[in-house]
């Protein structure tokens, strides 16, 4: 048995989990996430827990068993609490602001970079240099945070750019400088 796949997922109060066709739908209020069920994986909702079973013990079925359980567990946590990823902008003159559904970031280019905020994602700017990307879908939150970081990844010499708050940037030494000997003499 898959050790992750056989663990039951407790359903918090206010969250509803339904199996609709070949998908597991997790809802709370207006927030709804659907996860497809792979062939051979079945889902049952009993007494406040979600259980997954697989048809056979092939390597692929064992892998899909744990994966499906993890994705549905993330959906349950996402609609109940939500997920968040924090970014910080490092550099002189680098700053961000949200206008409507667009994130505008000044990153040292000749123009401000505009990033359209996707549906289901919320971005908060604190002190113009700290961003909080949040939403119910864990994959989408991580993807949006990675796309924003990719606009100006931290460079290894001064560390300027957009980084995750928990990220450690390995710095490189600069040029060695002049040694006092004339070149070609």
For the entire predicted model, the pTM comes to: 0.84
Same domain, 66 and 103: no
Let me know whether 65 and 19 are in one domain.
Answer: yes
Which segments in the chain show pLDDT lower than 50?
Answer: 1
Say if residue 92 is in the same domain as residue 158: yes
Which of 81, 100, 120 terminates a domain? The answer is 81
* DSSP E strand stretches across the chain: 9-10, 16-20, 23-28, 31-36, 41-46, 49-54, 83-90, 95-99, 102-106, 113-116, 121-126, 130-135, 161-164
pLDDT of 184:
54
Total number of domains constituting the chain: 2
pLDDT tens digits for 13-53?
889 999 988 899 999 988 899 999 999 999 999 888 999 99
Domain interval for residue 41: 4-81
Rounded CA separation 160/81 (Å): 32
Distance CA 42, CA 76 (A): 17
Q: What is the DSSP letter of 164?
A: E
pLDDT of residue 134: 94
Residues 77 and 87 reside in one and the same domain: no
pLDDT computed for residue 29 by the predictor: 87
The whole-number pLDDT of residue 179 equals 61
SS3 73: helix
């Amino acid at each position: 048995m898959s050790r992750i796949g056989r663990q039951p997922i407790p359903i918090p109060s206010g969250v509803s989990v339904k199996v609709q066709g070949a998908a597991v739908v997790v809802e709370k209020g207006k927030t709804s996430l659907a996860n497809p069920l792979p062939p051979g994986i079945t889902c049952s909702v009993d007494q406040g827990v979600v259980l997954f079973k697989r048809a056979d013990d092939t390597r692929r079925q064992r892998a899909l068993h744990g994966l499906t359980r993890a994705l549905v567990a993330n959906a349950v946590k996402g609609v109940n609490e939500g997920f968040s990823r924090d970014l910080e902008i490092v550099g002189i003159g680098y700053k961000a602001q949200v206008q409507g559904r667009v994130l505008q970031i000044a990153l040292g280019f000749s123009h401000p970079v505009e990033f359209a905020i996707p549906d289901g994602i919320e971005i908060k700017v604190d002190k113009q240099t700290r961003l909080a990307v949040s939403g119910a879908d864990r994959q989408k939150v991580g993807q949006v945070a990675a796309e924003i970081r990719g606009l100006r990844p931290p460079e290894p010499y001064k560390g300027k750019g957009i980084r995750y708050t928990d990220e450690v940037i390995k710095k490189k030494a600069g040029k060695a400088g002049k040694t006092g000997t004339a070149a070609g003499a």
